[in-house]
A and B are shown apart, each in its own frame.
Chain A
Amino acid sequence: MNKGILFLITLLISHKTVIHAAPMNFKDSVTSMTTISKNYSYLESSYAISSKESFGININENKGDTYKLKAGEFFYLRRLMRVNKINSQTNLWLFTGAGMVNVKKNIKDDDYLYLSPTLQFDYETKRIFSLISQQIMRVGNQNFDTTKIEGGVSFYETTFNETQPWILLKTRKTKTVDSKTEYTPTLRFINKSLFGEVGVNLDGDPSFHLMYTF
């Protein structure tokens, strides 16, 4: 199926959901991903113009004790730096999202237009993965900046066609929305086009993440 059509279909069906995962697109590919958990969910689809640039849509919902955010945005992703070594890869990315967010606090409910940049740094080898990302998101007089730190190891090396299992610890906190940092031990499975994760945070809430590249 034509990649443009796939992208459009994803755009049409993604009307009710959920920040960016590590971008791993290659030129002319479409990548779709979703995450579902008790307090946070998102759906995203993007098209890679090149291995350095992609654009797409992202719809997300983020719930805390008193706040609930629902946002939909168009985003542009630019790779600012990549260092390819024989056994490692290091990246610095800039996401720029623009869209509308609904902020609900108790019975108060407001919509805001927003522009939100995210800077992400990641480093990986065949056995080690690490990522740190900082999103700036200010709407009205409120600060909804999100910080993510992730790190993990693979149990063993695999061949190109085998499924590679990983264990990671993910941490995430959105200011104003989250009263504490969320820690989520996560299992990751990578098999070529398919990238899946299953995690349970320290409160016992499960989360699922799936990514596929067409």
Chain B
Amino acid sequence: MIKKNLLLVTLFLSMNIYAQTQRIEVLGMVCAFCAQGIEKSFSSDENIKDVFVNLENYFVVIESRDGKSIDEKYITTIITDAGYDVQKIEIVSDSVSEIREKYGAN
């Protein structure tokens, strides 16, 4: 039982350590003029390698430069400072460029 729990914890931790891309569902993101603040803020962060804003499906994906996840509190602050609310943050396996290609945009 202990081994099983340890395995689960290790799995969970390794997901967070090695995940590179985070997908943020954003509430209120209805126009590019307003959403540019999100892109500008994430782009100016040297720890973030790539950003993709998807207006059609109301989400933003970011990829860290060092392979570590970006702190969720920090992400929430960026989104809130741009005037929006965060509905959900999750780690996804695709890179930002793969997601960009998948949605055929930009």
User: Which residues of A are interface residues toward B (Cβ below 8 A)?
Assistant: 24-29, 50-51, 82-89, 124-126, 157-162, 164, 190-195, 211, 213
Contact = CB atoms under 8 A, between A and B. Distances in A.
A158 B37 CA distance: 18
Nearest to A154: B31
B87 A86 contact: yes
A159 B56 contact: yes
Contacts of A85: 27-28
B33 A160 contact: no
Name the prevailing secondary structure of the B interface residues: mixed
A159 B80 contact: no
Contacts of B36: 26, 192-193, 213
Interface of B: 25, 27-28, 30-41, 53-56, 58, 80-85, 87, 105-106
Given A51-B81, A157-B56, 4 more contacts: A26-B81, A83-B28, A161-B106, A193-B33
Contacts of A211: 33
Contacts of B81: 26-28, 50-51
A88 B22 CA distance: 23
A140 B27 CA distance: 45
B3 to A, nearest CB: 42
16 contacts: A24-B31, A26-B41, A51-B80, A84-B27, A84-B85, A86-B58, A124-B30, A126-B30, A157-B55, A157-B56, A158-B32, A160-B53, A160-B106, A161-B32, A190-B32, A190-B33
